[in-house]
């Protein structure tokens, strides 16, 4: 759908694709969801904490995107990095000091929350980078139109959709860490295979198609399981904060990942081998997604009653 909109109405129109889906979800929610409210919840919002993390991550992303033009150790990059570090450090300090922080970092005392947050950040670095890089390859190297590149990439998400629902149930039965690590291994191997075998000449059906379906199976194992893993053992009053922590770490990972691979493409475009940027990016994705799986299988543990009490104190 996005490719069709870009081809026919320009890239600005792609931002409209979510509007009808959001409207449908809104009215379905009004009809089917039961409203609930915690009367003891604070009515204040930590606006300063929100600003600190937004500007901190934003500046860090800016430095990565502009690293090729400015240089990694230039005075401008160094100042922006130092500012981002100070802002993010201030955010952590504030979250630990105010009564009602934007993110309750005490949840990191729970090993399963820590594992899910770290794994989610690293996983989304690779996952969203993969979507970006694959689309860039199809359009800039194979010269597919936006519509055709969107259609060519769709088998991967379709495979993920078929796997996602049973993967969530499997995670509840055998453990979230095992399911995510299995999916991450599948993705890592698939992306590495693509990196080693893809060629500038179009060979979609014999290489790209089966590879993205294979990778899509891994995505399906990871996505829904990672989402549920962050809140799997949290008590009801802590579910929203646990979900917010997981989503925030994932968004940070996505922003940093896309910024990093964009920098790789820009750097390679100025050399005699511009395609090397794609290969460096695929290698990075394969490694970070594998790291995501290793994190889950080694750190994800069911909490003890004492840990839950300590994190809620």
Q: Which CATH number fits domain 107-313: 1.20.1250.20, 3.30.300.30, 2.60.120.10, 3.40.50.20?
A: 1.20.1250.20
Q: Which H helix or E strand runs over 227?
A: helix 209-229
Q: Locate 263 and state its tokens.
A: 């920098």
The predicted pLDDT at position 40 comes to 65
Of residues 107 and 38, the one with the higher pLDDT is 107
Q: By the 8 A CB rule, do 301 and 112 touch?
A: yes
Does the predicted model carry a pTM greater than 0.95? Answer: no
Phi-psi region of 304 (alpha: psi -120 to 50; beta: other; left: phi over 0): beta
Exposed (0-12), middle (13-18) or buried (19+): which is 163, by Cβ within 10 Å?
buried
Question: Binning pLDDT at 50, 70 and 90, where does residue 36 land?
Answer: low
Q: In whole angstroms, what separates CA 270 from the centre of its chain? A: 28
Q: What is the mean pLDDT of residues 254-275?
A: 92
List helix spans (H) across 47-108.
Answer: 47-65, 67-70, 75-97
Give pLDDT, residue 37.
Answer: 67
The 3-state DSSP class for residue 7 equals helix
**pLDDT grade for 181, boundaries at 50, 70 and 90:** very high
3-class DSSP state for residue 44? coil
In this structure, of 65-74, 88-97, 115-124, the range with the lowest mean pLDDT score is 65-74
What are the φ/ψ torsions at residue 29 (nearest 5 degrees)? -60, -40
Note the pLDDT tens digit of each residue in 45-61: 889 999 999 999 999 99
Q: Name the band, by pLDDT with cuts 50, 70 and 90, for residue 312.
A: low
Instruction: Give the Cα separation of 283 and 291 in Å (integer).
Output: 12
Which pLDDT tens digit goes with each residue over 237-248?
Answer: 788 888 888 898
Half-sphere exposure of 165 (CA within 13 A, CB side): 3
């Amino acid at each position: 759908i996005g490719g069709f909109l870009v081809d026919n109405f320009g890239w600005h129109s792609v931002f409209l694709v979510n509007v009808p889906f959001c409207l449908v979800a809104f009215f379905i929610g009004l009809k089917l969801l039961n409203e609930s409210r915690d009367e003891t919840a604070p009515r204040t919002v930590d606006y300063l904490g929100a600003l600190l993390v937004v500007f901190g991550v934003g500046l860090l992303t800016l430095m990565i995107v502009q690293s090729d033009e400015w240089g990694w150790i230039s005075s401008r990059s160094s100042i922006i990095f130092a500012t981002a570090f100070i802002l993010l450090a201030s955010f952590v300090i504030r979250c630990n000091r105010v009564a009602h922080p934007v993110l309750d970092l005490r949840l990191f005392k729970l090993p399963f929350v820590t594992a899910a947050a770290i794994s989610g950040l690293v996983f989304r670095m690779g996952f969203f980078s993969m979507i970006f890089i694959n689309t860039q390859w199809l359009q800039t190297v194979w010269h597919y139109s936006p519509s055709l590149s969107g259609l060519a990439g769709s088998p991967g998400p379709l495979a993920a959709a078929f796997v996602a629902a049973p993967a969530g149930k499997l995670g509840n039965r055998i453990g979230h860490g095992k399911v995510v690590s299995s999916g991450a291994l599948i993705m890592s191997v698939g992306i590495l295979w693509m990196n080693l075998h893809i060629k500038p000449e179009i060979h979609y059906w014999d290489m790209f198609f089966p590879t993205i379906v294979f990778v899509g199976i891994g995505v399906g194992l990871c996505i829904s399981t990672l989402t549920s893993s962050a809140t799997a053992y949290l008590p009801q009053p802590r579910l929203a904060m646990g979900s917010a922590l997981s989503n925030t770490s994932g968004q940070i990972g996505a922003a940093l990942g896309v910024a990093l691979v964009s920098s790789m493409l820009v750097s390679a475009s100025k050399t005699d081998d511009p395609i090397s940027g794609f290969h460096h990016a695929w290698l990075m994705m394969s490694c970070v997604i594998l790291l995501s799986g290793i994190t889950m299988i080694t750190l994800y543990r069911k909490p003890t009653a004492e840990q839950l009490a300590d994190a809620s104190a």
